[in-house]
Amino acid sequence: MADLDASTPRVFIARHGETEWTKNGRYTGSTELLLTPDGEKQVSGTASHLVGSKKLVDPERLVKVFVSPRKRAQQTFTLLFEKEGLKLDDASGKVVLEEDITEWDHGMYEGWLGGEIRSSRKERGVVGEKGEEEWSIWRDGCEGGESPQQVAERLDRLIAKIRELQRPCMNGEQAADVVVVAHGMSLRCFVKRWLGYPLDMPLALMLSPGAIGILSYLKHDIEQPAFFVGMSLPPL
């Protein structure tokens, strides 16, 4: 099983570490926040265990790293890969700042708590497109920000790029792993679109700040994208 894990191209999704707004649950899109000291420790801890030669995320096996342009994502990338010599201005073009994986544009909800959004909508008599009074970002999007369709469209563009990179390497012809460094909401959306699900499909996903998740394909088949519930790790 370990050989199958390594030979089929993988996509590692890395969430940025904790920020002050991550701690209290505020919707954070375009606001530029840096990691807290604990957030830096989260990412550094992940890097020490999982990133490096012969480890789960081996820089030698990477063909591309897509990083959200937000500062918290760039900082996370640096903490993950600084000891491996991989930099944002990498001359090889292996590292790309990718606007399509940035966080959901929350519009007027930027910096709000979920309860504040729901209270405001109720007070103003705002209902969803289908008449629902209870707000769901997955269905209703954000006033003055992005709709689920807009988020899905840009994530689909990125997924198409990744599939083209990995398509020629489905049977281990060469290493073709990809890393995506981004945000809690955009990465959960990314997983849904990777699997071909609409964003409003109920699918409870958890990705801790500073954590890494894994996507790949069933049976070496690019038409069967899959989510790793668990996988074997390389020996130390």
pTM strictly above 0.85: yes
In the chain, what are the domain boundaries?
2-227
CA dihedral 115, 73, 36, 185 (to 10 degrees): 20
* Structure confidence by residue, pLDDT tens digits, 173-227: 899 999 999 999 999 999 999 999 999 999 999 999 999 999 999 999 999 999 9
Rg (CA), the chain: 18
Q: Quick check: 200 and 148 in contact, CB under 8 A?
A: yes
Return the pLDDT at 4: 43
Q: d(Cα 86, Cα 115) in Å, to the nearest integer?
A: 41
List the catalytic residues. Answer: 16, 103
Return the pLDDT at 1: 32
* Three-class DSSP category at 106: coil
Mean pLDDT, range 149-171, rounded to an integer: 97
Structure tokens at 207: 């990705």
Q: Which fold has domain 2-227?
A: Rossmann fold (3.40.50)
Q: Which segment, 11-15, 50-54, 168-172, is predicted with the most confidence on average?
A: 11-15
Number of H helices, E strands in the chain: 8, 6
Strand 177-182 versus strand 62-67 pairing type: parallel
The response to whether 29 counts as a known ligand-binding position is yes
